[in-house]
Chain A
Amino acid sequence: MRLWRFKGLSMTYFAGIDIGSLTTEVVILDSNADMLSYSINLTGADCNEAVDQALGQALSRAGLSRDQLSFIVATGYGRVTIPFSDKKITEISCHGTSAHHLFPDTETVIDIGGQDSKVIRIDKEGKVLDFTMNDKCAAGTGRFLEVMAGAFRVSLEDFGQLSLKAEREIPISSVCTVFAESEVISLIAQNQAREDIIRGLHSSVVNRIWNMVQTVGVHGAVTMSGGVAKNRGVVVLMEEKLGKPIHIHTEPQIMGALGAALLAKRHFLQEK
């Protein structure tokens, strides 16, 4: 966050807003595509309120007001609900754009969000070539891990770390979140080591995503985005499968909003 930056009259500012089903993120960029601020808020029941709050927060952190924004791009499932955005772009293009911007050698993006997951293939310019999505089922999403962490009464942060401490892996056979939860409860009742069960759960998510990765094919460097990219348990297992390291931004959750802000800048310049 560069609150101290000089905001001269010639400066133009861009906002990207990503309204997901769980969280809403906002990123503010200046005309050099430097990030001035960001915010992450829960979406809750009222999309518009969440957007106002998240945007207000990001703007105040950047020391800007709304009318100083030259172009706003909305993305995520709630993108259609924002009346004031200048353009709406899918999160698929946004994740592709931000991954390319941060890690230019990226050709494959794995995004695991709260309610869905996707694998996107981009070209050397960051344009989307292909993608596949899991949007029907909670298995292979952040929600699956959240429910399972709940079953163990541990926080999501600890959940990934516990997976890394496992000595062996207890495979979880149910793909369905509801059935997997009862499977886990019976494994706990059998006194199985909780780290081993947790490793099994992480593998289940990774296997699910891995199928999608194979549909699109692994090309070039791989970048991971979405909240689940913060979970070391998932990342380590995925890196093992890929046989190479994965690029991860320090705040992977804002990659959608960052992509939207970058595209806001691009469209603003094009329109000019």
Chain B
Amino acid sequence: MSFAQKARYNFMKDLGAPALMWLRQSQRKKRPRKPNPYLGPPLKCAGRLREIMTRHYYLSRFSKGAKPVAWVTSGAPVELLRVFDFYTIYPENHGALCGAQKKGPEICSEAEKKGYHPDLCSYARIDLGHAFSGKTPAGRLPRPDLLFCANNICQTVLYWYKELSYYWNIPLIIFDTPYNFQDIREKDIEYMVCQFEEMIPELERISGCKYSHDRFMKIIGIARESASTWGRVLATMKHRPAPISIFDAFVHLAPIVSLRGLPIALDYYRILLDELEERVAKGIGAVTNESKRLMWDNIAVWFKLRDWSLLFAERGLNFVAATYTNAWAETIHYLDEMSPFESMARAYSLVVLNNSLNYRLKLMEQMIRDYQVDGLVILSLRSCKPYSVGQYDLRRLLGERLGIKSVVIESDMTDFRAYSEEQTRTRLEAFFEALEV
């Protein structure tokens, strides 16, 4: 790491980024948004979130050479990387950003031009497309020194990260989490702990930093606290009316995904939680007239977030639970300073997508009860096969057991070429008719 690059990074961190934030903020004030009659008042801390994420992407372009840079999958045990001070970029989060800015098809086709199939996950296509063309709405992303991938979410990430590793000729570390057909086995935990032990010397070599156990324990503590606070944020939606909606949570998820293990994520969720508790006390809902409560299954459709939050709110429908946002609160609280490696293995291999459908069924059943859910919207994603498989069975079983009404819609989370407005609207409206709203 060169001194000049470090100095430039620190300068941008302390002066450049704050100046940019100030500039953006002052521009924004000039065009205040009209309040919407169906939606509650906007969250006060939304501005802070925007600032944190913009700063994260902005600073990333100065990180190269100043810090070791890693590209990481959303389900990877990033806490270990934090010990070595890696600047982490989450291609999936970047994919969501591209999706929200309606850039999915454009960047995906950069990968398709090179022969990657349109049936491949669009996060992978966006990331590869960005790697080949440099296209991104985030300005510029730093090229990684390390790729870090865990197969607890899907097998796609393995091949996707192997492609990047080959293309740039950079090291790839794979964390292999055996699938839990039933309860997790002690032998599997041992196997995962061995992998962590093997990773440490490699991470030391790539980053040029020494492993510090004290630092690791501290990071584990922060990550656990952040996940628990995020869990409490989500739990505020058990109240009627729910102070936020899942559409908000999809956006506020960014720090727990991308900045997990850093104090900034924890600080942010504490502010958010305070604000939500205040809303609960005052009876302020995310939807002005909450009449029915819904649950969402699968990743968000990033390019439809705004439209849909209105479409549902107009009918007094609020999404109060989602298996997706829950994933970061569900198991990370297992992290324990007393047994950091074992607990990390447990936390990361027990995530919803690494478990059987039966586990998911029970989880959904529990959430439907806890959050008093009246209806279920199931998104079948063209991209994400592990999330979408078995949804018809889950739907049937939940219907039989709980009598819950549901609808299946089809789309992709970023590539809107796989989305049809008319057809989705017909399905959703039929669902509204069944719910009598």
Contact = CB atoms under 8 A, between A and B. Distances in A.
A186 B331 CA distance: 57
Contact of B434 (A88, A127, A133): A127
Interface stretch (A4-12, A89-97, A156-164): A89-97
A179 interface: no
Contacts of A128: 430, 433-434
A271 B144 CA distance: 64
Interface string B403-437: 00000101000000000101100110110011000
Given A135-B423, A136-B410, A93 B433 contact: yes
Contact of A135 (B399, B420, B429, B433): B420
Contact of B420 (A90, A93, A129, A136): A136
Interface in A107-133: 116, 127-133
B392 interface: yes
B422 A77 contact: yes
Interface in A49-95: 77, 88-93
Contacts of A130: 399
Nearest to A92: B430
- The A contact surface, by secondary structure, is mixed
Contacts of A116: 423
A169 to B, nearest CB: 29
24 contacts: A77-B422, A77-B426, A88-B429, A89-B433, A90-B429, A92-B426, A92-B433, A93-B430, A116-B423, A127-B434, A128-B430, A128-B433, A130-B399, A131-B430, A132-B408, A133-B423, A133-B426, A133-B427, A135-B420, A135-B423, A135-B426, A136-B410, A136-B420, A215-B392
4 closest A-B pairs by CB: A92-B430, A135-B423, A90-B430, A90-B429
A136 B417 CA distance: 12
Contacts of A93: 430, 433
A215 B399 CA distance: 13
B383 to A, nearest CB: 15
Contacts of B433: 89-90, 92-93, 128
A112 to B, nearest CB: 16
Contacts of B429: 88-90
A131 B395 CA distance: 12
The residue in B399, B422, B430 that gathers the most chain A C-beta atoms within 10 A of its C-beta is B430
A41 to B, nearest CB: 20
B74 to A, nearest CB: 28
Contacts of A91: 426
Contacts of B426: 77, 90-92, 133, 135
A66 to B, nearest CB: 26
Contacts of A135: 420, 423, 426
Contacts of A215: 392
A50 B427 CA distance: 24
A88 B427 CA distance: 14
Interface string B279-306: 0000000000000000000000000000
Contacts of B410: 136
Nearest to A88: B429
A127 B430 CA distance: 11
A172 to B, nearest CB: 24
B374 to A, nearest CB: 15
Interface in B123-149: none
